[in-house]
Amino acid sequence: MKGRQKIVALAGLIIIAVTLLLFFLPGGERETVDWVCLTFFLLAEAVLCGGGILADRMAGACGGIFFRASAFTALFICCIVSLAVSLVSILWMRPPVAGLVGVQIVLFAAGLILLLVLSAFGRRAGAAQAAEEQALSALKALEGRVRTLAGAPANRDYAAPLERLAEAIRFADGACASALDSEIADKLTALETCLSGETAAGEVEPRVEELLWTVERRGREVKERKAGKT
């Protein structure tokens, strides 16, 4: 458990202990509605703290900070309203037990539904973010391979087109992976093989141009995918 989660758990235990102390300290007879209110007091506090810890643990797979903040906000609002209902019920209104329980169930159900919706959106955002990071990492690796070729003394005659290819890959859209990524990698491997052996005159630049064209095709494909056309 992370330090932040331990602090939340400790704070939750303290809040629950204080709630129990305040409930039992005055003494006197307790009616059913009082016990119901206490139950929902404790439940709201447990849900707020436990849900906060759960949201923190799920944040990595659900879009990070945005999910953590939005989930905790939803839990906080739900639990504060529940606490307010219980407080008003125990001090002033004294509503029928069935009505009080019904209101509390609706509140917690609404909070749960909202949390599930946030989780679903968060997981989609997290998956998209992971895919983007993977695509960027793959492009970075390809760029590094090309720059290694461009910087090799044996390839100084081809440094300019290789640098142009490296820049094209550098500024390629890394929003998502493309089916052409493997094709680019294969063609780059073929180019590396070509440069490592006896290079026929005029063979390198056509290969570089072909790679540039493939990178350009990849850009169009990613753009269309982002626009929802494919």
For 80-100, what is each residue's pLDDT tens digit?
888 888 888 888 777 788 888
Identify the pLDDT of residue 174. Answer: 79
Q: Which of 162, 174, 178 is nearest to 217 (CA)?
A: 178
CA distance 114 to 67: 12
Residue 199 scores a pLDDT above 70? no
pTM: 0.60
Identify the pLDDT of residue 95. Answer: 79
Better-predicted residue by pLDDT, 142 or 116: 142
Instruction: Give the least confident one: 6-15, 54-63, 130-139.
Output: 54-63
Residue 201 scores a pLDDT above 60? no
% residues pLDDT > 70 (the chain): 92
pLDDT band at 230 (very low <50, low <70, confident <90, very high): very low
- The tens digit of pLDDT for each residue in 54-80 reads 777 777 666 667 777 787 888 888 888
CA distance 168 to 32: 72
Residue 22 scores a pLDDT above 90? no
Q: Which amino acid is at 189?
A: T
For the chain, the average pLDDT equals 83
